[in-house]
Structure 1
């Protein structure tokens, strides 16, 4: 068999990935990862240079500008290697495998761009790194020196390469054997250990859980909030762990990692103050953060949290949701060739724009002065001679210090931010990666549904529903889920994250707005998750399906990274769904997943916060309240809506209770057929815990008592 392609041109123009298309005009003879390319490498006996990145990655752009667009460097690459470019968002399997290899070979964490040299025949790693400069600097060798050295190793040290490959394969097998289920009695001890680790790593001055660079770590924040709820339920409230979560959210919402004009959070902060971010905005960060800020608002009614949530949701709907309903992946850090240029301000532009704002009769000169103090515009510039908005003083402190009504000051500062936003809109915007990833959409569906319910914003629930139906119509074909859509075409088979995150999001959306069709689809997805991904020997779920192409490693990972572990959300969602639909198989799969993960959890509890949330819900199953009530005309019957049972449930923070309101006019799925509507079309609610159900609730007064007994707020 002969490869249908040759190594004499750049073939990326045939691809749909925005990241690959960014490199379609490089002089490098780039190929996509596919069977023909791998065959070409074997036939030519050239090692593979694998470069993995993503469209919004700043350092990917830097390496491209320095090396991949340089003719001399490209000539060396083309002469010595088969060059493969991979979008890590489309092929997270390859990214995870070779990031893992990088960590094993270098004993350091990886990153992007990921640069790995592979054997021509087995695709085993020879050498791995991340960014390499064109010229030697910062202790890094020149990229062309690396190229020549690796080529020499390939030609002269085959036995060393084979020995290293064998050692890596032994490591991979050892990793898998570590997932052998442990015969243990689950308990809260490991959760308590993680709680102590979270508090120990907590930055008491700036919030967060590390020094610079500083990442949001939404799984840790979620764990801290859930743990506080658990302790409060047991009448032993743990205010310190709640402080770790809320203070981190406060410092992030005040910091430059948050876009104070357009909404949304950047990927991470380059400093410990949350001041200067890497400016790319990722869907996978903003979905979980949207949920967390909505919960934080419901817990303590801090206006900062409400604004962060609503402005993030509004940004997503305005800039990140396609007209068909799916959510886009990311926005770039760079515009006009410079990182952050879209976001920062010169002294001249700030003074001119705020000077125009002073002509607005509703905005006082004092408010403009306080705006400058709020965001440091009265201080020295904080980003390469320019200003990036960062909260130095809170609105509350400014209002108190200057004896101004807090609500009035908030209103005026909002108006000033809107004026700056409109001015910024005239700039060249960063590129948006318009591919639609199923897994990340699942996280945003979850975030939008939580925000819509807790903030009482029906438009957010409608946005989540549109996204869900987009995925159902475009990513679900012939009982098979696809991972991504670009230009209306689904191309890649789904990974475990796609199934797990989508089920997780749909279960949340169903709490906000019941939909029989989406519920039935959720059950189909769960069945497919078990049949195609479950490790029936050791428990848990592989990252790739049983029919996926053979790669050097079949991953089954349990720890969180920038996003929660797929196994964690699979266990959490299956446990919830099992109790909702009455299917023990789902609950057993969740239990087996936790058993398989137990060794990994025990070694580093804080790295498994999402799985610990799943463990907590396995140990103490959530309450499930199914309400049957008449449909309410949202537009014409305000009083009836105010008195509706579903409206009443939205007034409470109920982290341990799943509430599903099924209209009396709908015939529920057979798994819920015993939850009948009340007599004469009246409302009724069925409270259950695990598989044990109590007496139905038949009056609003009884419902209010139930909700108050299960609600958690700081002031309650």
Structure 2
């Protein structure tokens, strides 16, 4: 993920905004059959809210850089615009498309805005979560493929294999290649927390153990670098770094959730997926460290409240025993993903008792398929309800 600045020529929005006069000059052709002899400009300006005096309100332009300028915003549906000018939908769609093309050609001649080419581990972790969760819920293989590509990108370009640590950023080069600066920036807390969350979502969506293994390694590194052994919770940056003057812990979920909020649920999920009770205790200590804030202003930390609720209600462990590629296994997995279950972890296990999951959770060896069919076990604290083999029965059990 990267970001393109919206200004050039040292003036806010210069690359993207238009005056009414510019649009009238570019789109002066009269549209045959339009009400009142309207021109292409009239139709375009109506649809995109262009005004003669500009459409940027003074309170949104404190420095007066956008006086008389217009930001193109779709103000009406194509149907309403067509009705306004007495034209059919197809004709209006064509007019708007050709008009946009003309404006785009003119805009290409303007000095382009600065391109911020950095790619952050944290933002890509958030993107990874989005693709994995939506791909699983919709059963969309294309989205899951994108999630896997994002994870491979992170491991290839933002993971220091030698030092076994995350890097904060990488950059796009002139030839579209991925570059790294001479002294790469070490990852911060949010880089670790967001990527761990993304990897856990990807593991639950694909059941590829490599992502759970990497999440486990990253969480161990995060604990080593950022954990506050005295007060609980994580510092935003490495407290041993002599260049860091203040040791801070973010206590608000804003446009991006606090890395401590994300970590609370990461720790809880990892404790259930790996059987490491140390992470359950660490989750409890983290929540205790922010308890005053949670009690006084819970609205400031909605993502941490989510972790607190998950701890309070205990995560359901849904274990599906069956061959990963078999249809009956896929049907049970699809049933789980089709439901909104915020307090759960999903594990799919086969007969390989020497595999990673069995080594981490020996209790899995006691769960067996019934009569050779894929079987689902719904457990809490690994105390399980009666097994089911039918997706409808599993759905009923999960909704209880």
Normalised-by-shorter TM-score class: 0.7 to 0.9
CA–CA distance in 2 between the matches of 1:587 and 1:415? 60
CA–CA distance in 2 between the matches of 1:655 and 1:370? 47
The alignment partner of 2:150 has SS state of: helix
CA–CA distance in 2 between the matches of 1:703 and 1:370? 55
Q: In 2 relative to 1, CA 422–437 (structure 1 residues): closer, same or farther, beyond 3 Å?
A: farther
1:465 maps to 148
Q: In 2 relative to 1, CA 582–372 (structure 1 residues): closer, same or farther, beyond 3 Å?
A: farther
CA contact (8 A) 1:662 1:668 kept: no
Check if 1:387 corresponds to 2:80: no
| CA-to-aligned-CA distance 1:92-118 (integer Å, 9 cap, x gap) | xxxxxxxxxxxxxxxxxxxxxxxxxxx
1:615 maps to 308
Q: Structure 1: which 5+ residue stretches go unaligned?
A: 1-326, 360-364, 403-407, 634-639, 711-716
**Which segment is superposed worse, 473-482 or 418-427?**
418-427
Q: In 2 relative to 1, CA 643–422 (structure 1 residues): closer, same or farther, beyond 3 Å?
A: farther
The alignment partner of 1:548 has SS state of: coil
Q: TM-score, normalised by structure 1?
A: 0.44
2:123 maps to 440
Of 638, 646, 655, which residue of structure 1 is paired with 2:342?
655
CA contact (8 A) 1:499 1:525 kept: yes
Of 512, 518, 526, which residue of structure 1 is paired with 2:219?
526
Of 141, 145, 160, which residue of structure 2 is paired with 1:476?
160
Deviation at 1:453, TM superposition (A): 3.2
Deviation at 1:437, TM superposition (A): 1.9
1:341 maps to 14
CA–CA distance in 2 between the matches of 1:644 and 1:549? 54
Of 177, 180, 189, which residue of structure 2 is paired with 1:488?
180
CA–CA distance in 2 between the matches of 1:370 and 1:456? 41
CA–CA distance in 1 between the matches of 2:165 and 2:320? 32
CA contact (8 A) 1:629 1:645 kept: no
| CA-to-aligned-CA distance 1:295-315 (integer Å, 9 cap, x gap) | xxxxxxxxxxxxxxxxxxxxx
Of 696, 713, 716, which residue of structure 1 is paired with 2:387?
696
2:360 maps to 671
Deviation at 1:457, TM superposition (A): 4.0
Q: How does 1:245-264 map to 2 (within 5 A)?
A: none
CA–CA distance in 1 between the matches of 2:356 and 2:26? 56
The alignment partner of 1:334 has SS state of: coil
How big is the alpha-carbon RMSD for the aligned residues of Structure 1 and Structure 2?
Answer: 4.4
Count of equivalent residues: 365
Q: Structure 2: which 5+ residue stretches go unaligned?
A: 33-37, 57-65, 172-178
CA–CA distance in 1 between the matches of 2:130 and 2:302? 18
1:685 maps to 376
CA–CA distance in 1 between the matches of 2:51 and 2:9? 27
Deviation at 1:480, TM superposition (A): 2.3
Deviation at 1:574, TM superposition (A): 0.8
Deviation at 1:521, TM superposition (A): 0.7
**Which segment is superposed worse, 336-345 or 613-622?**
336-345
The alignment partner of 2:301 has SS state of: helix
The alignment partner of 2:290 has SS state of: helix
CA–CA distance in 2 between the matches of 1:346 and 1:664? 68
Q: In 2 relative to 1, CA 374–514 (structure 1 residues): closer, same or farther, beyond 3 Å?
A: farther
CA contact (8 A) 1:630 1:665 kept: no
| CA-to-aligned-CA distance 1:595-646 (integer Å, 9 cap, x gap) | 111223334333222222222222223333243554559xxxxxx6997344
CA contact (8 A) 2:16 2:71 kept: yes
CA contact (8 A) 2:320 2:329 kept: no
CA contact (8 A) 1:631 1:664 kept: no
CA contact (8 A) 1:631 1:665 kept: no
CA–CA distance in 1 between the matches of 2:272 and 2:94? 44
Q: In 2 relative to 1, CA 680–553 (structure 1 residues): closer, same or farther, beyond 3 Å?
A: same
Q: TM-score, normalised by structure 2?
A: 0.74
